[in-house]
Amino acid sequence: MKQTTTLGHSTFNINRIGLGCMGMSEFYGSFNENESINTLHKAIDLGVNFFDTADMYGSGANEQLLGKAFKGRWDNLVLATKFAIMRGPNGEFLGVNGKPEYIKQSCDQSLQNLGVESIDLYYMHRKDPEVEIEEIVGTMSDLVKEGKIKSIGLSEVDAETLRRAHAVHPITALQTEYSLWSREPEQEIFEVCKELGITFVAYSPLGRGFLTGAIKSRADLEEGDFRLGNPRFTDEAIHENLKFVEVIEQIAKSKGVTKAQVALAWILSQNDEIVTIPGTRKVHRLEENLVAFIIELTPADLEVIQNSSPAETTGSRD
């Protein structure tokens, strides 16, 4: 299986399994800075060179963590961060902002948090409904000209918006949730990305941990874990959605591998250019995920997954 790809309209050659860093600072229960830094360093040792963060993860704390972990080690790393989701002084969510002045302020703050002079891939995290995409991407294009960012990405936009954005400035990557229980991008987005030369980056490829089989009830989640408020993690939804895990487990057992490895191998098998960014704080999970590269899913395996998976997922994804 192809392990690297060129990231869209850029010169970056990246490992197709990157590392999502959100959970190192918030959202998924308790976390430990030293453990996270150890995992980040181990990721580099194992050949991972594509790391994903955002200014809203821990209200800047995640960017600062990566800045600390990678200080003096930025060579050959590709770092993606994002703007648009506003947080208040106590971490409260204040909505989405795509106004030019806010984008520029956010970029400057991210550069400071990370301790770098330029951001490799800068995403619009979510679209501000009150600002046209042409104005947002135009502002991001100005940041490219100023040398503050090297390439432009979007997250969670539809095909039409992606086309309009790309007409203003080449879009390097589109990031959207994609996994066995979140397959919406297959409807239009994959085709448009291929047509326009945009790399598709799949986030939450393990269904926020659910597809690994580690979550069999709400009791498996720590108090304060944001998944407790997610519609897919109600008692009823967990019970119904375990059918996805059973399908993956069937393939995993036949190959002597883990469910996480099958779930990631399935994504990578969709096409040779797709990139995925499973998140973890733990070295052993990082090592487990990277084994997905050497797992070959046969046409028969893919057919079993396709035909046996539930037609719909119980609960919206957010």
* pLDDT for residue 239: 87
The catalytic position among 28, 57, 178, 203 is 57
Q: What is the pLDDT of residue 27?
A: 61
Q: Tell me, what's the pLDDT at 30?
A: 60
Q: Which of 18, 115, 128 is nearest to 71 (CA)?
A: 115
In this predicted structure, what is the pLDDT of residue 221? 82
Q: Are 1 and 294 in contact (CB under 8 A)?
A: yes
Decide: 54 and 62 in contact? Cβ < 8 Å: yes
Q: Give CA–CA dist 52/15, Å, rounded.
A: 13
Are 151 and 172 within 8 A, CB to CB? yes
Handedness of CA 306, 311, 315, 318 (dihedral sign): positive
- What does the pLDDT read at residue 269? 95
Q: How far apart are CA 257 and CA 263, in angstroms?
A: 11
Parts of the chain with a pLDDT under 70:
26-31, 226
Known catalytic residue: 57? yes
